[in-house]
């Protein structure tokens, strides 16, 4: 570990040299060497050995946060914000694995910190940016090793899970209709009767999902049928999952889903079938394979499947009774010339009267036309927003000038430090001039922040104005327009509506 090479060792107070000690554990089951207390002790030892004043308030923790999820680590986000605000001079952590387990994230964090003049120090790798420089291979190599670890661990875990499944053990949640005894699935007969009844109604009576849900909930109300485990009433989605799940015919599928990282967050996706590990006759079946295949026969499924019509207002329409999304359902008779599209509460659609209320008939086309007209009328009243753009013509030049001033002040700080190290000025003079430069820098950064905030506001105003102009093209996809202009629209059972505009706070 590199330490100061000066013959006269100076002691750095926390006020003079503010730093952050960053610690992280992904779960509360981490080994002792990676525990919070152990990480703090290691960092504290290095700080005190290198003549930095210890300060308990310097510790920032991410507990129960995976190193692969950059955006979900609030402490790390705060550190980066402090670096941008020039509030810290150094970040210390036990190892690069605590910083990030993703190569891209690790390099990005390092560049942000160093780019804002923050020293980066890790204990295990002996890395110190003060001596290594910006473009070093050492940090990249250790970051690459850290990124590879969770992938290797994932392969090992997958192999262990596959071995358990081959032995007949069940992993994951216990499905409806089963219990788990000695890690094996056993049929729970009372619940299994409901599963069999669902398949029987679907395969042999030809009932659709809505009819099955209604009959199940009537049975629940009469005490003849058990409800789902975690809800009081059956829903369409619950029935769909039961009919599509091969677990009920004795088949277990491993590696059906995987987790990927999208924009710093985890997202579950379905693997292609060739990657699945299928275990036939893994556990007792509630229905036969023939019954399950009949329910999932492509021709049979396609004849009963109804595709949800396109909805430009999706996610914005809310039920005034329960708060669920309003969705489109189709009605009418093909023989009479086509379908009508109505808006219904999604909770009512899933569970009928047991989920919510049935709204008065509201056709989607007429409702969309109403919303467009309301927005166009409102747009006339906000046309004066264009005037604001005329006041911002000089903003770009102001931003450029302030950035130049910030660069100049940073250069002056470096020159001032050189004067002090060359003993051309004493410590008191250095501190006085350095504090003045810090004050000027803070003022300049504050001005830049305010200008950029105003710039963002103007960008939002431009998006709003563009969205209003796009309303003229009512035959095109207007989803992005409605998302820009509307916060939500509350629809009461009687058909009364309340429109909440997204831009009301932007005026």
Name the 3-class secondary structure at 329. strand
Determine the pLDDT at residue 44.
92
Residue 271 has pLDDT above 50, yes or no: yes
Determine the pLDDT at residue 301.
54
* Strand ranges inside 320-398, DSSP E: 326-331, 340-345
Residues 293-306: tens digit of each pLDDT: 999 884 555 545 55
Higher pLDDT, 205 or 152: 205
Residue 280 has pLDDT above 50, yes or no: yes
Please say whether the beta carbons of 119 and 83 come within 8 A.
Answer: no
Could you give the residue ranges of the DSSP H alpha helices within 316-394? 346-351, 364-381, 385-390
Question: pLDDT band for position 308 (50/70/90)?
Answer: low
Determine the pLDDT at residue 219.
92
Determine the pLDDT at residue 390.
43
In the predicted model, what is the mean pLDDT of residues 140-151?
72
Please say whether the beta carbons of 170 and 187 come within 8 A.
Answer: no
Determine the pLDDT at residue 67.
42
Question: pLDDT band for position 393 (50/70/90)?
Answer: low
**Domains located in the chain, CATH noted:** 19-152 (3.40.50.1390), 178-304 (3.90.1750.20), 380-506 (no CATH)
Residue 503 has pLDDT above 90, yes or no: no
In the predicted model, what is the mean pLDDT of residues 397-401?
81
Please say whether the beta carbons of 351 and 213 come within 8 A.
Answer: yes
Backbone angles phi, psi at 344, to 5 degrees: -135, 155
Average confidence score pLDDT of the chain: 80
Higher pLDDT, 504 or 304: 504
Report yes or no on whether pTM surpasses 0.75: no
In the predicted model, what is the mean pLDDT of residues 156-165?
79
Cα–Cα dist 476/368, whole Å: 12
Determine the pLDDT at residue 386.
47
Specify the range with the lowest mean pLDDT, choosing from 29-38, 278-287, 429-438: 29-38
Residue 414 has pLDDT above 90, yes or no: no
The number of beta carbons lying within 10 Å of the beta carbon of residue 345 is: 26
Cα–Cα dist 214/243, whole Å: 16
Partners of 261 in the β-ladder: 266
Residue 32 has pLDDT above 70, yes or no: no
Question: Residues 284-319, buried b or exposed e (16+ Cβ, 10 A)?
Answer: ebbbeeebbeebeeeeeeeeeeeeeeebbbeebbbb
Higher pLDDT, 406 or 160: 406
- The pair of structure tokens assigned to 68 is 């692969």
In the predicted model, what is the mean pLDDT of residues 469-485?
80
Residue reference for tokens 């999820």: 69
Name the percent of the chain lying above pLDDT 90: 22
Name the 3-class secondary structure at 339. coil
Partners of 306 in the β-ladder: none
Element (H, E) at 486: strand 486-491
Name the percent of the chain lying above pLDDT 70: 79
Categorise residue 497: left if φ over 0, alpha if ψ from -120 to 50, beta otherwise: beta
Residue 428 has pLDDT above 70, yes or no: yes
Q: What is the DSSP string of 230-299?
A: SSSS--HHHHHHHHH-GGGGT-EEESSEEEEEETTEEEEEEPPGGG-EEETT-S--SS-HHHHHHHT-HH
Determine the pLDDT at residue 255.
84
Cα–Cα dist 327/348, whole Å: 10
Residue 466 half-sphere exposure, CB side, CA atoms within 13 Å?
Answer: 9
Q: Which of 170-184, 300-314, 471-485 has the highest mean pLDDT?
A: 170-184
Determine the pLDDT at residue 275.
83
Residues 325-376: tens digit of each pLDDT: 999 887 665 455 556 788 999 888 888 888 889 999 888 888 988 888 888 8
Cα–Cα dist 377/383, whole Å: 11
Residue reference for tokens 């209604």: 214
Higher pLDDT, 65 or 102: 102
């Amino acid at each position: 570990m590199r330490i100061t090479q000066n013959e006269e060792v100076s002691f750095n107070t926390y006020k003079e040299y503010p730093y952050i000690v960053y610690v992280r554990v992904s779960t509360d089951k981490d080994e002792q060497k990676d525990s919070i207390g152990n990480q703090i002790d290691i960092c504290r030892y290095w700080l005190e050995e290198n003549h930095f004043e210890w300060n308990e308030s310097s510790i920032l923790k991410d507990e129960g946060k995976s190193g692969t999820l950059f955006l979900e680590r609030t402490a790390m986000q705060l550190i980066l914000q402090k670096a941008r605000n020039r509030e810290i001079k150094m970040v210390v952590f036990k190892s690069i694995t605590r910083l990030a387990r993703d190569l891209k994230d690790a390099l990005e964090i390092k560049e942000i910190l160093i780019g804002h003049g923050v020293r980066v120090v890790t204990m295990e790798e002996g890395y110190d940016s003060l001596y290594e420089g910006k473009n070093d291979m050492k940090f990249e190599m250790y970051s690459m090793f850290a990124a590879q670890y969770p992938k290797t661990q994932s392969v090992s875990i997958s192999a262990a899970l596959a071995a358990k499944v081959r032995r007949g053990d069940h992993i994951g949640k216990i499905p409806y209709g089963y219990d788990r005894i000695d890690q094996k699935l056993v049929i729970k007969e009372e619940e299994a009767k409901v599963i069999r009844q669902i398949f029987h109604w679907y395969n042999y009576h030809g009932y659709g999902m809505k009819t099955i849900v209604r009959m199940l909930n009537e049975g629940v109300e009469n005490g003849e049928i058990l409800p789902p485990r975690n809800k009081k009433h059956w829903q369409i989605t619950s029935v769909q999952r039961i009919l599509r799940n091969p677990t009920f015919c004795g088949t277990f599928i491993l590696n059906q889903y995987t987790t990927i990282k999208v924009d710093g967050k985890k997202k579950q996706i379905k693997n292609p079938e060739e990657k699945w590990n299928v275990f036939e006759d893994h556990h007792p079946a509630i229905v036969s394979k023939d019954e399950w295949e009949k329910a999932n026969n492509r021709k049979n499924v396609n004849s009963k499947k109804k595709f949800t019509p396109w909805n430009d207002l999706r996610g914005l329409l809310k039920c005034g009774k329960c708060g669920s999304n309003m969705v489109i359902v189709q009605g009418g008779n093909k023989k009479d010339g086509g379908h009508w599209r109505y808006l219904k509460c999604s909770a009512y659609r899933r569970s009928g009267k047991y989920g919510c209320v049935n709204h008065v008939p509201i056709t989607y086309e007429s409702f969309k036309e109403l919303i467009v007209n309301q927005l166009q009328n409102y747009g006339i009243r906000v046309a004066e927003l264009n005037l604001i753009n005329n006041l911002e013509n000089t903003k770009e030049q102001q931003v450029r000038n302030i950035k130049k001033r910030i660069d100049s002040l940073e250069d002056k700080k470096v020159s001032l430090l050189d004067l002090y190290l060359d003993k051309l000025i004493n410590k008191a003079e250095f501190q006085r001039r350095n504090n003045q430069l810090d004050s000027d820098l803070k003022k300049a950064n504050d001005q830049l922040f305010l200008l950029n905030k105003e710039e963002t506001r103007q960008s939002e105003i431009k998006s709003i104005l563009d969205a209003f102009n796009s309303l003229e093209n009512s035959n095109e996809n207007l989803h992005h327009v409605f998302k820009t202009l509307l916060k939500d629209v509350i629809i009461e059972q009687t058909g009364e509506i309340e429109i909440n505009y997204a831009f009301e706070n932007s005026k």
